[in-house]
Amino acid sequence: MENIYGKKLTELEDYFEKIGDKKFKALQLYEWIYKKRIASFDDMSNIKKETLMTLKRDFNFDILQIMSRLDDKDVHKYLFNLKDNNKIEAVLMKHDYGNSLCISTQVGCNMGCSFCESGRLKKVRNLETYEMVLQILEVEADLKIRISHVVLMGIGEPFDNYDNVLDFIKIINNGRGIDIGARHITISTCGVIPKIKKFMDEDMQVNLAISLHAPNQELRSKLMPIAQAYNLKDLITIIKEYINKTNRRVTFEYIMLKGINDSETNAIELAKLLKGINCYVNLIPYNETSHIEYQKSSQEQILKFYDILKKNKINVTIRREFGSKVMAACGQLRSLYKEEQ
């Protein structure tokens, strides 16, 4: 029996034809699930009894269990229990432009970035499509809000769960489904080059963000093991290719680590690396944790770094700090739960 929240509209259309029913029933089903938000086949009044019996046989409405919710200013951090008792986290952030949910795509992460709490737990498994969709539905139901933006920046490397992530995007982007605009969806990757190359052919208008965090190969290799598999020079080449093909601007995420990657020399090097690329840089003040020794760059140093990029005509922003009091900030997911264990 499959979870209904993991099915794309096209898959349900095929399903209805297979059971000898009309294709348009899939649209009716999507209306009930995502517009009316029912959680039982018995509540679907315009679908005949025989069809409902077949649907009950083949699909379930199993949900994720909310184990806890921690609240900070404009932030709500959720701990979910999965069917197999693995745990994941998601973070709701309230911005002036809408409500943004940072979702997880894997249980654990194999990328092993030295500054990130989430990667201290090695990958256990990929999340199923429905487990990603339900992070949105359950947060919306709990807070009685509409989520307008989704970022795949929680636990896990999205491109390491490529097929399920693409199905997830197709479900939440569908106008008959959750109906989140493609340009309000952002995939963040450490730089899995073969998957970036594959993704540029998908003809999706979603945003792509690259976790960069260093201006040269030597430093990036020390911070991010993936750089040993995929060279920075090759990564920049594929990003240029991606921009040329999709005509989409790319974001480079850059965590500011005191005395590691935040010097004026690093800023100049980064400006040279990104010169002429249609991108912007998101400088992220580091969120310190009890397990990792890196420290946050001073505000003064972050502003110096920012100014150098600006003077070199690089579009740059400094990310607003969110949720550090409840360990919900960038790079901190899963740490508080594991600490309490």
Listed range (91-95, 104-108, 285-289) with the worst mean pLDDT: 285-289
Res. 328: pLDDT tops 90:
no
How confident is the model at residue 335, as a pLDDT? 45
77 and 179 both lie in a single domain: yes
83 and 56 both lie in a single domain: no
How many other CB atoms sit within 10 Å of the CB of residue 277?
A: 16
Query: Average pLDDT, whole number, for the chain?
Result: 92
- Whether 50 is catalytic: no
List, in order, residues 6 or more apart from 297 with CB less than 8 Å away: 256, 257, 258, 262, 285, 286, 305
Give 122's pLDDT tier (boundaries 50, 70, 90).
Answer: confident
CATH number for position 151? 3.20.20.70
Task: Name the domain count of the chain.
Answer: 2
Residue-wise pLDDT tens digits, 125-177: 999 999 999 999 999 999 999 999 999 999 999 999 999 999 999 999 999 99
Mean pLDDT of 92-108: 95
How confident is the model at residue 331, as a pLDDT? 46
Residue-wise pLDDT tens digits, 221-266: 999 999 999 999 999 999 999 999 999 999 999 999 999 999 999 9
250 and 325 both lie in a single domain: yes
39 and 169 both lie in a single domain: no
Half-sphere exposure of 45 (CA within 13 A, CB side): 1
224 and 303 both lie in a single domain: yes
Domain stop point among 43, 60, 77 = 60
How confident is the model at residue 329, as a pLDDT? 47
201 and 258 both lie in a single domain: yes
13 and 162 both lie in a single domain: no
Residue of 13, 89, 117, 128 marked catalytic:
89
CATH number for position 8? 1.10.150.530
256 and 324 both lie in a single domain: yes
Domain stop point among 60, 88, 109 = 60
How confident is the model at residue 322, as a pLDDT? 60
CB 5 within 8 A of CB 133: yes
List, in order, residues 6 or more apart from 19 with CB less than 8 Å away: 51, 54
* Spatial distance between the Cα atoms of 332 and 102, rounded to a whole number of angstroms: 12
Residue-wise pLDDT tens digits, 49-89: 999 999 999 999 999 999 999 999 999 999 999 999 999 99
Residue-wise pLDDT tens digits, 180-230: 999 999 999 999 999 999 999 998 999 999 999 999 999 999 999 999 999
Domain stop point among 24, 45, 60 = 60
How confident is the model at residue 288, as a pLDDT? 80
Residue-wise pLDDT tens digits, 276-327: 999 999 999 998 876 678 899 999 999 999 999 999 999 999 988 765 555 5
33 and 143 both lie in a single domain: no
pTM of the full predicted structure? 0.92
- Whether 89 is catalytic: yes
Residue of 113, 190, 279, 330 marked catalytic:
330
Nearest to 285 by CA among 314, 328, 315, 320: 320
208 and 270 both lie in a single domain: yes
Residue 55 is part of which domain span?
A: 2-60
Res. 104: pLDDT tops 80:
yes
130 and 160 both lie in a single domain: yes
36 and 134 both lie in a single domain: no
